[in-house]
Structure 1
Amino acid sequence: MQTGGVRNGTAALRGEESYIENILRLNRGKPGTFHFTVPEARGGNNTVSVRGVVEAAGRDHAIIRELQSNHRFLFPMIYFDYAEFDEELAYFNQAPR
C-alpha cells in the first residue's frame, strides 16, 4: 500500500518521507550545488561545494557527480549542509492522510 505520491507519478516511501536522502533520490539527475563541511578538506578549507547532480543517495551517503569534470564524490551524509537546485524539486505529497 502506498502512502501518497509526488509529481510525475513517483511513488512515496512508507513511514517518514522527508528524510534528506529520500528527497535527494527523488531529484536524481537535477543540476545543483551541494555543500558539505568536512574535516581537513581541500587546502585546509572545511567547506566543499560541488556543482553537479545526485547519482545515488542512501541512508548515510550521497554520490554526487561533478558536472564539469565528471568526477564522482562519495560524501557521508553527516557532512551534508544543504543543496541548491536550478529547477523545481520533486517532493512528497503534502496532502493530509
Structure 2
Amino acid sequence: MPMGMNPGMNGAMPGMMPPQVSSGSGITPSGTVMQMPGQQFEQSYIENILRLNLGKTGTFYMTYENNKDWNAKIFKGRLEAAGRDHIIISDPSTGLRTILLMVNLDYATFNEPLVYQYPGVAGNPPTRSR
C-alpha cells in the first residue's frame, strides 16, 4: 500500500475530496434537498404513481422466487399507502391490511382511470381508453 494511504479510506488520499458530480436531483453535497422553482411534480416512479391513486381498488400481481407453495400470487385491495419498497392494501370487507414488497410486484391493474402526472408536465388529466 502506498505511503499515506489508509485501508479504511477506499483508496482516497487524506485531505482529498472526490470530485463533485451533479446528480440533477436538487440535492446539495451535504444532503439537503433544495426546492426547485416551478417544479411541482413528482418523478415517474411506480411508488409516486401509486401515491397519486391512493384510495383506489386494484389488483396486484406478485411473483415470489424459490417458493415451493406458490410462485405467483394475486392480491386485491384498496390502496392505502405506497413507499419506495412497499405497498399497503386493505380488504374493505374485513379491514385486513397487507404489506406487499415492491420487489415482488410484477404489475397492477385498476378498473377506473388513474391519476398520472408525467415528469415535467404539471396537471396532466387522467388518460381514458376509447
Instruction: Give the TM-score normalised by structure 2.
Output: 0.57
Map residues 1-97 of structure 1 onto 2, 5 A cutoff: 1-4=37-40, 12-13=41-42, 17-39=43-65, 40=67, 44-93=69-118
Letter in 2 for 1:24: L
- CA distance 1:38–1:69, change in 2 (3 Å): farther
Tell me how far apart the structure 1 counterparts of residues 121 and 79 of structure 2 sit (CA, whole Å).
29
Letter in 2 for 1:45: W
Q: 2:51 aligns to what SS in structure 1? A: helix
- CA distance 1:94–1:67, change in 2 (3 Å): same
Match of 1:8 in 2: none
RMSD: 2.3
The structure with higher relative contact order (CA 8 Å, sep 6+) is: 1
What 5-or-longer segments of structure 1 have no aligned partner? 5-11
- Amino-acid identity (%): 42
Give the structure with the larger strand fraction. 1
Letter in 1 for 2:84: R
Instruction: Give the TM-score normalised by structure 1.
Output: 0.74
Give the structure with the larger helix fraction. 1
Aligned residues between the structures: 85
Q: Deviations over 1:9-29 (max 9, x none)?
A: xxx22xxx1100001110011
